[in-house]
Structure 1
Amino acid sequence: MAQPTTNIKYIEFTSEEQDIMALKQLQAAVVERQEALERLLQVIQDLHESGIFDILHGLLVSKEKIAGILLEQILKPSVLGTVKNAMTAMGTVSKIDPNQLSTLTEALVSGLKAGQERLESNKKAGMFELAKALRDPGMNRALVLMLGFLQGLGQAL
């Protein structure tokens, strides 16, 4: 039977050997990613030539002053009102069924195009044309939608 191992020798590398191994690993990583690193260096050069680094450095140097100005602007009542309105609008839109919203948006775009064409034709609308329009199925659907919308709006008010 074999003798149990009782003496374990750990290999200890000197600081210089550790540095050499780290450099070899880094060199292998650079070789593996050569194309990506070359592209990254080109992007860095482009940013440098365009002055973006100077702008970023200026921003970092004056970060406290810029943060103060930004905070001052954000806390203005008009900006706060705009943010609140945007959040309310987003909440309202999120309550609408996406399919309904898509259909309504497409119909709105179509209606705007038709309305613009009608305006450009300089054609006047008469009573007879209004009565005739009520018999048009598309116009009737739009009127039914608008009447339902106005009724719901009135009830909610």
Structure 2
Amino acid sequence: MAKAITQINVQKKTEEERQRQLQQDLLNQLTENHQSLDTIFDIVDELNKAGVLDMVKGFLRMRDQIGSISIEKVNQPSMHHLIKNGFHAIEFIGKLEPEKLEKMMDGLVHGLDRMAKETEKQEEVSMWKMFKLMRDPHVLTALSYLTAFLNGMGEELGTNRQQEGR
């Protein structure tokens, strides 16, 4: 019959053996990942050449002063308005359909280009020329879009005014 095991001998590594094992593991990781490390060193070198590391180092040294100045600036009422307006602008842009916005922006750019050309001429526009321009199909199209825009804006403003009056 087999003899019962009454004692287990656990071999503990000495501190020196643990250190050697850690060094070996570290060397293995370095050799396995040498390409990634080369890339990281290249990136750090480029950041250093560009002066980014000096800026980050200075930022970290002055972090307390920068933090207090930042908090002071953010607590100003104008900053609160800026943050709220930023959220409203993002919400507004999110409501627009991309195709409609693109068409409107293209028209705006083209209109600004045409306006720049007209201002270069530096000639006075007579009332007769204005009436003649009103018959231009492009001008009529733009005016119809403008009046539709003003109509929709007026509807919304009127709705808001009625809701406030209740």
Q: Report if TM-score (shorter chain) is over 0.5.
A: yes
Gaps of 5+ in 2: 158-166
Which is further off, 135-144 or 20-29? 20-29
Task: Calculate the aligned-residue CA RMSD, in Å.
Answer: 3.0
1:94 maps to 94
Give the deviation of 1:113 after TM superposition: 0.3
* AA of the residue aligned to 2:93: V
- Give me the whole-angstrom Cα distance separating, in 2, the residues matched to 1:60 and 1:66: 9
**Structure 1 moving runs of 4+ over 3 Å:** 11-29, 45-55
- Give me the whole-angstrom Cα distance separating, in 1, the residues matched to 2:95 and 2:132: 36
> Per-residue displacement from partner, 1:83-115 (whole Å, max 9, x unpaired)?
222222222222211111111111100100011
> Per-residue displacement from partner, 1:60-100 (whole Å, max 9, x unpaired)?
23323221110001111112212222222222222211111
Give the deviation of 1:45 after TM superposition: 3.2
1:33 maps to 33
2:62 maps to 62
- Give me the whole-angstrom Cα distance separating, in 2, the residues matched to 1:111 and 1:12: 85
Do structure 1's residue 14 and structure 2's residue 13 form an aligned pair?
Answer: yes
> Per-residue displacement from partner, 1:134-157 (whole Å, max 9, x unpaired)?
332222110001111122222333
2:160 maps to none
- Relative to the length of structure 1, the TM-score reads 0.75
- Give the 3 Å change call, closer, same or farther, for CA 130–66 of structure 1 in structure 2: same
2:127 maps to 127
Gaps of 5+ in 1: 1-6
- Give me the whole-angstrom Cα distance separating, in 2, the residues matched to 1:50 and 1:131: 60
1:43 maps to 43
- The 3-state SS of whatever aligns with 1:125 is coil
1:150 maps to 150
The number of aligned residues is 151
